[in-house]
Amino acid sequence: MDQIKIGKFIASCRKEQGMTQAALAEKLDISDRAVSKWETGKSMPDSGIMLELCDFLKINVNELLSGERIMAESYDKWAEENLLAMKREIEEKNRQMLKTEYWIVLPAVLAGLVMVFVASFVVMPAWLRGTLIVFAAALIVTVAFVAVEIEQKTGYYECQNCGHRHVPTYWQTNLAPHAGRTRYMKCPECGKRSWQRKVLTKED
């Protein structure tokens, strides 16, 4: 999606309705700075307020995501293209989130292991040794919980029995035996347990 084009379209539609950025922001219960970011292409409206925004601008969501008015005969084509664009965008965000998981986990685990190594082999007071070991353990455990939360919220798990894709709860994810990002869980659709792999989209 072309955020610059969409931003200019939002600004144009807002002016057509005789609204300032502040007036539109007030109607949506957000800051005028957020509206300014949309119109300059620096960000996109959150999905939770898109319908309300479109109502105020007298456009539909497909026109918003296309950045232009859509004639009736072209509507289906634009709708499909916008859905594909949104799907690609979600996939890319999910990939970035999973990469972020690695960047959080690896440095923290290495730092924890270094602290344990130092505490084990460097001469120091017993209280300091204990503090280092406890801090290292707390760091690794905390980061592990954060990593699982990122993985749980990013994409879906696919049942190997029926192919159903679902998002398990945090604790279902956390407590499931796993190998990398593949976890042994019960499928809510077929009720069977299998090694379920992480996928980025609801369907291919």
| pLDDT tens-digit map of 8-36 | 999 999 999 999 999 999 999 888 899 99
For residue 203, what pLDDT is reported? 64
CB-based contact 166:188 (threshold 8 Å): yes
- Rounded distance, CA 41 to CA 50, Å? 15
Where does 3-70 sit in CATH, by number? 1.10.260.40
- Rounded distance, CA 41 to CA 1, Å? 11
- Segment 186-204 shows an average pLDDT of 86
Q: What is the pTM of this model?
A: 0.53
- Domain spans of the chain, in order of start: 3-70, 85-152, 155-199
Residue 166: in which H helix or E strand, if any? strand 165-166
5-9, 62-66, 72-76, 162-166: segment of lowest average pLDDT: 72-76
| pLDDT tens-digit map of 93-122 | 888 888 888 888 889 989 999 999 999 898
| Confidence label for 185 from pLDDT (cuts 50, 70 and 90) | very high
